[in-house]
Amino acid sequence: MRRAEGGGMALWRGLRCCRRAFAWLPVLLIALLLLWSYYGYVCELCLVTVSNPVEKVAYLVVFHILFVLFVWTYWKSVFTLPIQPGKKFHMSYADQERYENEERPEVQRQILAEIARKLPVYTRTGNGGIRFCDRCQLIKPDRCHHCSVCAMCVLKMDHHCPWVNNCIGFSNYKFFLLFLAYSLLYCLYIAATVFKYFIKYWTGELTNGRSKFHILFLLFVAIMFFVSLMFLFGYHCWLVSRNRSTLEAFSAPVFQNGPDKNGFNLGFVKNLQQVFGEEKKLWLLPIASSQGDGHFFPMRTLSEARNPLLTNEEQWEEDGIDEDNSLLAIE
């Protein structure tokens, strides 16, 4: 029996390692495409095909600026770890025992409500109860959700993105938006500057066969990714303007007065500041500048702002959250 159990555990661990390895394939694909686009544009287009030295230098300068911004934002999106709720949202051992030993659902709801009185949480479940994660054993802060892929609760979770092999949430949503923006500009710039030489190859004005192949595929891949990224980036711009996450767009957050899809909508400018911060000089750089710490978000309605639980907010701010800031340092 023990050997069978040991063999089952080894198989499970092996499958888990394989799943983790396969999860990096989309990231590897993007890295390879990026390296090939660099070679195709710099070597085959600028160094081999373009003959005008002024045009060549101008192309290379702008290209490398966009390339650095693209790689920088993508790196930050991939390797910025999602942030979990602070210790104050985790149930104590005594509360866990009391909650698990209680079989009556209504009493369990009362226990969660007692714990939540000390916390700035205002969103509820569909039936009006406190949002509780039984896997992480914590009270979920507003806009926090459990990611089944990362196996953790993520502050202001937006979605889990396979193309960055990471959960997009409070810690890296700004980086993800900038990644979409700069990848869009990168593809647009390549398509715009390559198109003239694609026509020259097409009409027979240029005849270099190897460069012709690279330029043809540079144009095709750039246009293909530009179209797909344009829709994705446009959708997330709309979400930011409404101060919603992808999850909230599909399922409106529930407050004590019921569901409200605009519950966190503070107006266009304040919505932008929620994600990008108040320092405009940092808006276009992948540097952490989002407002708050991801545990509490201002709400639109006065009825929510006057919630009795707000009496504990000052105490909450004084106590602070013992959060490991090294997670953000990895950004």
Q: Is the Cβ–Cβ distance between 155 and 294 less than 8 Å?
A: yes
**CA distance to 222, 254, 269, per residue, from 275 (Å):** 28, 22, 10
Q: Is the Cβ–Cβ distance between 167 and 150 less than 8 Å?
A: yes
> Which of 101 and 174 is assigned the larger pLDDT?
174
Say how far apart CA 16 and CA 156 lie, in whole Å. Answer: 27
Q: In terms of DSSP bridges, do strands 152-154 and 258-259 run parallel, antiparallel, or are they unpaired? A: unpaired
Mean pLDDT of the chain: 88
Give yes or no for residue 60 having a pLDDT over 60: yes
The pLDDT value given to residue 103: 87
pLDDT tens for each residue of 220-257: 999 999 999 999 999 999 999 999 999 999 999 999 88
pLDDT tier at 9, thresholds 50, 70, 90: low
Query: What residues does 258 pair with on adjacent strands?
Result: 255
> Where do the DSSP E strands lie in 7-129?
none
pLDDT tier at 203, thresholds 50, 70, 90: confident
Average pLDDT over residues 22-41: 96
Say how far apart CA 321 and CA 145 lie, in whole Å. Answer: 19
What sign has the CA pseudo-torsion 216, 221, 223, 224? positive
Half-sphere exposure (Cβ direction) of 181: Cα atoms closer than 13 Å: 15
The pLDDT value given to residue 7: 56
Average pLDDT over residues 12-35: 88
pLDDT tens for each residue of 253-288: 999 889 999 999 999 999 999 999 999 999 999 999
Average pLDDT over residues 159-174: 96
Q: What is the DSSP-derived secondary structure letter of residue 293?
A: -
Q: Which segment of 7-11, 19-23, 42-46 scores lowest on mean pLDDT?
A: 7-11
pLDDT tier at 6, thresholds 50, 70, 90: low
Average pLDDT over residues 185-205: 92
Q: Is the Cβ–Cβ distance between 65 and 178 less than 8 Å?
A: no
pLDDT tens for each residue of 86-141: 999 999 999 999 999 988 989 999 999 999 998 999 999 988 899 999 999 999 99
Question: Greatest CA span in the chain, whole angstroms?
Answer: 81
pLDDT tier at 300, thresholds 50, 70, 90: confident
**CA distance to 39, 177, 181, per residue, from 229 (Å):** 22, 11, 8
Question: Which residues does the annotation mark as catalytic?
Answer: 161
The pLDDT value given to residue 202: 84
The pLDDT value given to residue 323: 40
Could you tell me if residue 155 is left (phi over 0), alpha (psi between -120 and 50 degrees) or otherwise beta?
beta
pTM: 0.86
Question: Who contacts 191 (Cβ-Cβ below 8 Å, separation ≥6)?
Answer: 219, 222, 223, 226
- Residue at token pair 């923006």: 181
Give yes or no for residue 324 having a pLDDT over 60: no
